[in-house]
Structure 1
Amino acid sequence: MSQPTGDLRVRRTRKLLREALIALIEERGFDRVTVGAITERAMVSRAAFYRNYRDKYQLVEQIFDEAMAEVRGHVADGDPDSRRARWVAFFDHVDEYHRLYAALLGARGSAWFAARMRSALAELTAPHFAPDAPVPGLLPSVLSAVFVESIVWWLDHDRPVPAAEIADRSADLAGAMITEATGWPPRPWSRRRPAGKK
């Protein structure tokens, strides 16, 4: 019977730490937030923080990794309904944690987190494209930027449409880009030599 109480205590501690992190990012910006400030705001001991997280980066990463795990759980190759469900699940997650994402991706946020999000989304989409595609790796990178910028726009405008709609609109934009890119003819790559070198 002690396990459920322990689980409840851990969930409560993590919730308090997440809420404190969000408030502090909004006030100070991510770079100026310290573990000490997070624990003080959350009224949680440093020992409790370090039982759950290595540092503030891991606290943020855990929230995002939970979202990515859920998104990957919606993947079924070749099934358009599954692909839609994946992006709706992701935007639902962003909606649930909108204050955190608005803080992290806003003007006082973290360039580290924005890059981490783009990288994770690029990794998610990369397996769907042939490795010999023209400009390998470009499309996943650009698509990830489209989704991140869609999130930023949505949060900056106080989520004016439901998560499912912004997911669909973003996926439509991504689909148009994929259609365009899959029509590109293969081109031989040539390396440009710096001026003055042979």
Structure 2
Amino acid sequence: MSRPQSVPASNVRIRRTRALLREALVDLIEERGLDRVTVGDLTTRAMVSRAAFYRNYRDKYALVEQIFDEAMAEMIGDHTDDRTPGERWAGFFRHIDSYHRMYRALLGRKGSPWFADRMRVALADMTTGHFPGDSADGLVPTVLAGMFVQSIVWWLEQERPCPPEEIAARSARLIRAVIESDT
């Protein structure tokens, strides 16, 4: 996982460039799908120079990774984070909600198998070793990650019919039921 590049709060130009590129990315994914989006398309749509793009990202995948890494960092927290797993999961859904157009585009019909796989792997890695019945072959984390992603996809495809906290709680109950049936 690449680390999000920190931006000094005072650097308005960098924050503006990144916001414009993110918005352009979402628009273009919705229109064409991630695989058909080029850096040139992004810079033209965002009305920023290629040099500005490359000062911030190595390629379009780095842009997508940064957004996803921010979501994972929100969910995982740090060693001083005293939130419960449920609160962290709700925070992850709040992030998804904030970028719902991008996630719906990346995980939808014109989406990116690369991104969906990356999300499943990151979520599986996060859950490895944390559940009863978790075996060395990785079956439980892999199945749970698939359930996490499908919960997100369902919620987005249904136009987010409930608040992030509710879908987080509903998906957590489903996942708990699977875990309990495995023990």
Q: Give the TM-score normalised by structure 2.
A: 0.90
Task: Measure the CA separation in 2 of the matches of 1:171 and 1:37.
Answer: 39
The 5 A counterparts of 1:18-57 are 18-57=22-61
The 1:64/1:108 distance shift into structure 2, 3 A limit, reads same
Q: Which residue of 1 is the match for residue 141 of structure 2?
A: 140
Q: Counterpart of 1:187?
A: none
Shift of 1:133: 4.3
Evaluate the alpha carbon distance shift between residue 173 and residue 76 of structure 1 in structure 2; reply closer, same or farther with a 3 A threshold.
Answer: farther
Change over 3 Å in CA distance of 1:4–1:157 after alignment to 2: closer
1:56 Cα deviation after fit = 0.3
Relative to structure 1, is the Cα distance of residues 4 and 61 closer, same or farther in structure 2, using a 3 angstrom cutoff? closer
The question of whether the paired residues in 1 share the 8 Å contact of 2:100 and 2:156 is answered with yes
Residues 127, 60 of structure 1: alpha-carbon distance in 2 compared, 3 angstrom cutoff: same
The counterpart of 2:77, out of the listed 73, 79, 94, is 73
Find the counterpart in structure 2 of residue 190 from structure 1. Answer: none
Contact 1:88 1:163 in 2 (8 A): yes
Cα distance, 1:74 vs structure 2: 6.9
CA contact (8 A) 1:74 1:85 kept: no
Tell me what 1:165 maps to. Answer: 166
Q: Which of 124, 127, 130 is matched with 1:125 structurally?
A: 127
2:67 alignment counterpart:
63
Superposed CA deviations along residues 17-63 of structure 1, whole A, max 9, x for unmatched, are: 00000000011111100000000000000000000000000000000
Partner residue of 1:112 out of 114, 120, 124: 114
Mark the runs of 5 or more structure 1 residues left unpaired by the alignment: 183-198
For 1:156 and 1:19, the matched residues in 2 are separated by 20
Q: Which structure: larger Rg?
A: 1
Using the aligned pairs only, state the percent identity: 62
SS in 2 for 1:24: helix
Query: CA–CA distance in 2 between the matches of 1:4 and 1:135?
Result: 43
CA RMSD of aligned residues (A): 2.0
Q: In 1, are the aligned partners of 2:134 and 2:141 still within 8 Å (CA)?
A: no
Structure 2 residue identity aligned to 1:181: D
Name the count of aligned residue pairs.
176
1:139 shift after superposition = 0.6
Following superposition, the deviation at residue 136 of structure 1 comes to 3.1
Stretches of structure 2 lacking an aligned partner (at least 5 in a row): 1-7
Deviation, 1:171, is 0.5
How far has the Cα of 1:181 moved from its partner?
A: 1.1
- Report runs of 4+ in structure 1 exceeding 4 Å deviation: 74-77, 132-135
How much does 1:71 deviate?
A: 0.8
Name the structure 2 match of 1:191.
none
Higher relative CO (Cα under 8 Å, sequence separation at least 6) belongs to: 2
Q: Give the C-alpha shift of residue 127 in structure 1.
A: 2.8
The question of 1:89 aligning with 2:91 is answered yes
Is 1:175 equivalent to 2:179 in the alignment? no
